[in-house]
Structure 1
Amino acid sequence: MTAQETRAATGLALVFAFRMLGMFMVLPVLATYGQDLAGATPTLIGIAIGAYGLTQAFLQIPFGMVSDRIGRKPVIIVGMLLFAVGSIVAAQADSIGGVIAGRILQGCGAVSAAVMALLSDLTREQHRTKAMAMIGMSIGLSFAVAMIVGPLLTKAFGLSGLFWSTAGLALLGLLLVLVWVPTPNARLFHREASVAGEAMASTLRNAELLRLNAGIFILHGLLMASFVGLPLALVEHAGLPRDEHWWVYLTALLVSFVGMVPFIIYGEKQRQMKRVLCGAVAALLLVELYFVVAGTGRTPWVLGVIAFFTAFNLLEASMPSLVSKVAPAGGKGTAMGVYSTSQFLGAALGGMAGGWLYSQWALDGLFIACALLALIWLGIAVTMREPPYVTSVRLDLRETTVPRADVVARLAALAGVAEVLVIDEEQAAYLKVDSQVLDRAALEHALAGS
């Protein structure tokens, strides 16, 4: 990677991390500390937990499309400012209504699609997967850090201090965009990172993608609903004061990150990702039922939280890869846009429903409802096909001397190429390839006309 590519990848990974930190740090603390806010009820606390997801879901794809027209950086700058303003509103609030308003404003900073598009503008094809992996790692790490730092910050400075730190992180991310992240010379419409309007209908009709969209909707719904109940259960049943929850999450995340790795390796190497997915969903179902019968005491609840995070992190890490495998050539960006929208909608409705369920049927009713939702997902997951083990590749055709009419035939004839789409307006070809079979040298020869 060149110096510019390295700056782009590291800078945008940090922007993602700072933003996700601000989103997730409230999860382990809002159910307990939120009770001190004026007008707080379980239902309203649940709404505060999930409120950011509503605006994220509705603005994610439009912001990405706007960035195709006016540029990536202006959209990202506006988004980070909105996120900072939402954090300040929540920091100054002394009522649950004010926190909800702040969370809704935080969600208006829906810059994920614009960030990914900017990364595509600033990196070459051969390094893009590496750069995107850096962003994926930053998201996972930010979630882990948020689970630990959120309780510690709130213990030291209260909810107000937590939201002020979130505003500071947003402004730090804004500074990175302005000073550190390079400005591209031109915008590249990249169908692996951007939403193509003409691909939307086929994406919404694709049964396999719909199963994955339903899955991520349910997964984040379960996450938000569970975090209405888990902090309360750690206080009521495990006897852990809210100031001590951080070490439970630290233990759970460390164990879960190690525990999920063998399953991901097995699924990818042995090409058994459907089996791994269904197993993780079944584990999530059993964990939710376990929470109903766990009784009292620290050990049962710590073990339950570890099992929950192992299943959750395994699913969270593996599902984007499944979307990439299933999406047609040239359709990955659109598929990921719909997938992200489903994720944020799940987060919004999960938080809201979780608060209401707790207010009606207490912790047992909440966890039973989560188990039923996981059972529905398991029914959906077992009907999916084993995904094709292919990756997406974009080829620049501006330098090739091969006539356009021959490009598709030449590329499709190569061993390991499953699908080819040539977009004349972009002077690019999008391929789905089996990397274990494809001969890269043969691919270069085909484009060179030899």
Structure 2
Amino acid sequence: VLSPLLSALLLAGCAAGADVPTVQPTAAPETPDTAQSSETAETAGAAAAPQGLIPTDAPVLDYDDIRLIAYVREFQTYPDTDYYTMCRDGKWGLMRSDGTEVLPCRAPYPLFECGWNAHRWHGYTDGMTWEEIEPLQEQLNAQLKETGDGVLCDAHDGGGYRMFVYLQDASVYVYAGSIGPGEFAAPTDEALCLYSGRADGIVPTVSGTTTHESDDWYNFVSDGVYVYRDKNGTAANSCTYSAADFFFDAPLAPAQRDGRWVYLDTTGREATGLCYDAVYDFDIYSDTPLTAARAAPLLNGYAVVCRDGQFGLLDGSGAEFVPCTYDGLVWDGSTAWVKQNDGWHEYTIPGVAKPDPLDTLSGDIVAPDTRPTRTDTVYFQADADSSNRLNLRTGPGTEYDIIDRISSSTLRVYGYASTAPGWALVRYDPLYGMPHFGWVSTSYLLPAE
């Protein structure tokens, strides 16, 4: 099964979109007096803050490059995206978004995360022999677990897939599965709200061919042609794209045609020009491993964009909030790192802060009174026949209602109850359903290896 994230045919399906949004330049500073103040003299050599951004007191970082970690939003909700992969002297490592180094730069390629919600870091031991990998992985995994930063992973796991397809009967379906054949289902209002922000929203659908595998299982081979449609199959515009992303809760989504990226609004209108380059998600298995494949999603209202090799920050209207004039820029929804002459400087946007993952916790789920320092990753292993499924409950105790019964899955722990030791609030991401929170007994959980 081909992933919906793979670009295939580069098709031009409509005319170019609007021109690149212009940004009004800031007024030129007044000419200083001859008797310059000591404060002005002291700061004369400091890097000027990009327009709209406020500097923090974080140390300047001396990396050659910093990029957003590639992740699959369908299985990894936005607030958990708080890591970057960084480069020094051609070698890549892992850092938190606050600038803290997690893994020093030694990998030959940008690090990436397992595609299914686990903080399992791939690529760090690439190029090493098995004899070299084993002691290093043991050492680093102990360190990563202690700090709550996941584990190294050398397996080439495929994870799951979840996409919207437009089939020959002119209907839209959700196609979901893991590696092999999957199942088709009619899109629910819940799914459309997750992927497009509302029940009557539009999602990128891909057409292709299907073969009936067995029972309700089908093989689907994408033809690489994406069209934004509503649940009834009505196209939002006359364009076809070679790659396209979901909106989720953002006002814009990126899509690719003719080798360039454009951002669409939720009506299907192209809100920017067809002018942007990909900025993350490197194909490390190709002959050109440092060629980015994806444009960045909007995180908390802003997206990193790159035009002609220069980086900036796009806002939710499609305007360049920070013009594309910088050699590097990354954004996690709360802080931005911008590459300037003396290194990478950290900035914030006034009034913008990363949302709490539990902001979406429904009222029927008991809220935790204790939160982990960092989101813990754990694992539940079912029997081969899944007979020992784990109960997911509305609260920390067997007296609470059962929401779901979990099969083998990686879970994220978001909190605990001080009055009910042995229980944890987790988020469960079922392969064929929507992610949701609930409480589980920790006696059935295993460390994520």
What TM-score, normalized to structure 1?
0.23
What TM-score, normalized to structure 2?
0.23
- Higher helix proportion, which one? 1
Which structure has more RCO (C-alpha within 8 Å, separation ≥ 6)?
1
- Higher strand proportion, which one? 2
